[in-house]
């Protein structure tokens, strides 16, 4: 029988304690997977989300919930099959504690079954498709962005309040495009002259603009994010239609596209849950900090990701990494605690936002082109699908 001296036993206990402490620290570290389109014509939308999220993490000292945070970034290229591969990698190989971003609605919906099955917390910062808002809601899937119809509903309400009689509708042919036009029609009660769906990432709209001009509507409502919006607005201006036809839009004229559009977008009216023109203390600080770091004005995509990071910070302060159910519950509660840059914010029963939707006009301000707050058509808006969701 071998005996050890008291000094050796003490040394062994100290080493064991240090090993346990190291393991505890390792277990407490948070790993976040961030998926967004970071290449191609829509890359600016993805990059703004990444930059907004990372700005918040930097302000929090590189931590979330007081724990060191590692953020793994992946480019889904706006392709559902690639998005699905990335999500599986995040869950099965990287063992992430949460997935943020989740790309556009078509990519998100393709990834949803694996996310739901895994139980891993996921926070969308650029989508809120109608199936997820309704019967397909999931307890571990959230959106700090919007239910897709929301901003479009605000534009429909705004147009209705302005007495517009006939509107021409246009959007790319995928889930979010259909949701946007559905949202507009929910509140606009006038005549829909035509409802046109174009290809995703279509560069040339000359044929559609000729049809639009021939239809002679009172106004046009469009949803064309990123590079699609730049091409559409520039071609509309070149055709002389911006001066003749009131343009209402969502996710078309914003912080990602305005630097390229500038004067071409002046006079357009946009529906959004946030714009850099919003005059609240949280919004003004966020804009100043973002501009100081990245030398450009943030878009609503940056704002949603910034809020997502701050929500995760609150949640991870209450639920430690590794406990997905506890973290999901903490994220839900954190929605009501976070001081959002957009004003009022909370998660509804379906884990999508209850928030204001504003109307902003693009105006010339000296040598710059900026947004101007016109109205809040839908304050603290609740989406149209939440009653179909079984969650409470």
- pLDDT grade, residue 219 (50/70/90)? very high
Read off the pLDDT of each residue in 343-369 and give the average, rounded to a whole number. Answer: 96
Q: Measured between alpha carbons, how far is residue 203 from residues 98, 111, 224, 232 in Å?
A: 35, 27, 11, 8
Read off the pLDDT of each residue in 164-189 and give the average, rounded to a whole number. Answer: 96
Q: Measured between alpha carbons, how far is residue 221 from residues 138, 155, 166, 170, 184 in Å?
A: 31, 8, 11, 6, 8
**Confidence at residue 10, expressed as pLDDT on a 0 to 100 scale:** 42
**Confidence at residue 321, expressed as pLDDT on a 0 to 100 scale:** 84
Length of the chain: 392
Report the b/e string of 259-296 with b at 16+ CB within 10 A.
Answer: eebeebbbebbbbbbbbbbbeeebbeebbebbeeebeb
Does the structure show a pLDDT above 70 at 3?
A: no
Query: What is the share, in percent, of the chain residues with pLDDT greater than 90?
Result: 87
Find the farthest-apart pair of alpha carbons in the chain and give their distance in angstroms, rounded: 99
Q: Tell me the C-alpha distance between 254 and 230, whole Å.
A: 10
Q: Are 318 and 101 in contact (CB under 8 A)?
A: no
Read off the pLDDT of each residue in 56-78 and give the average, rounded to a whole number. Answer: 97
Which three-class secondary structure state does DSSP give residue 92? helix
Read off the pLDDT of each residue in 24-49 and give the average, rounded to a whole number. Answer: 85
HSE-CB at 124 with a 13 A cutoff on CA atoms is 31
**Confidence at residue 365, expressed as pLDDT on a 0 to 100 scale:** 87
Read off the pLDDT of each residue in 58-62 and give the average, rounded to a whole number. Answer: 98
pLDDT mean across residues, the chain = 92
DSSP character at residue 387: G
Q: Tell me the C-alpha distance between 294 and 305, whole Å.
A: 15
98 has which bridge partners?
32, 121
Read off the pLDDT of each residue in 189-216 and give the average, rounded to a whole number. Answer: 96
Q: Tell me the C-alpha distance between 216 and 222, whole Å.
A: 16
Q: Residue 19 is encoded by which pair of tokens?
A: 């090993």
- pLDDT grade, residue 16 (50/70/90)? very low
Read off the pLDDT of each residue in 292-319 and give the average, rounded to a whole number. Answer: 97
């Amino acid at each position: 029988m071998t005996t050890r001296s008291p000094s050796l036993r003490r040394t062994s206990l100290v080493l064991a304690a240090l090993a346990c402490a190291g393991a505890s620290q390792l277990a407490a570290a948070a790993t976040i997977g961030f998926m967004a389109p970071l290449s191609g014509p829509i890359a600016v939308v993805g990059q703004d989300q990444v930059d907004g999220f990372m700005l918040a993490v930097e302000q929090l000292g590189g931590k979330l919930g007081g724990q060191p945070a590692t953020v793994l970034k992946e480019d889904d290229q706006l392709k559902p099959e690639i998005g699905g591969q990335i999500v599986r990698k995040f869950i099965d190989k990287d063992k992430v504690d949460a997935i943020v971003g989740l790309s556009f609605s078509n990519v998100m919906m393709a990834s949803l079954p694996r996310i739901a099955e895994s139980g891993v917390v996921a926070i969308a910062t650029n989508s809120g498709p109608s199936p997820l808002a309704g019967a397909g809601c999931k307890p571990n899937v959230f959106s700090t962005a919007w239910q897709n119809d929301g901003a479009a509903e605000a534009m429909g309400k705004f147009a209705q309040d302005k007495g517009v009689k006939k509107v021409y509708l246009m959007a790319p042919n995928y889930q979010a495009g259909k949701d946007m036009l559905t949202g507009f029609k929910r509140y606009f009660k006038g005549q829909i002259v035509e409802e046109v769906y174009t290809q995703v990432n279509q560069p040339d709209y000359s044929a559609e603009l000729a049809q639009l001009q021939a239809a002679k509507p009172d106004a046009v409502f469009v949803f064309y994010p990123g590079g699609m919006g730049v091409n559409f607005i520039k071609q509309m201006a070149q055709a002389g239609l911006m001066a003749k036809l009131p343009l209402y839009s969502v996710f078309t004229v914003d912080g990602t596209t305005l630097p390229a559009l500038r004067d071409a977008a002046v006079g357009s009216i946009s529906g959004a849950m946030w714009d850099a023109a919003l005059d609240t203390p949280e919004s003004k600080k966020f804009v100043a900090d973002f501009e100081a770091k990245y030398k450009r004005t943030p878009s609503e995509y940056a704002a949603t990701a910034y809020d997502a990071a701050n929500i995760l910070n609150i949640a991870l302060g209450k639920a430690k990494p590794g406990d997905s159910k506890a973290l999901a519950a903490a994220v839900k509660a954190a929605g009501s605690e976070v001081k959002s840059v957009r004003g009022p914010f909370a998660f509804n029963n379906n884990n999508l936002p209850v928030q204001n939707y504003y109307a902003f006009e693009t105006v010339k301000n000296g040598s710059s082109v900026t947004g101007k707050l016109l109205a809040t058509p839908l304050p603290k808006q609740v989406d149209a699908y939440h009653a179909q969701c079984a969650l409470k």
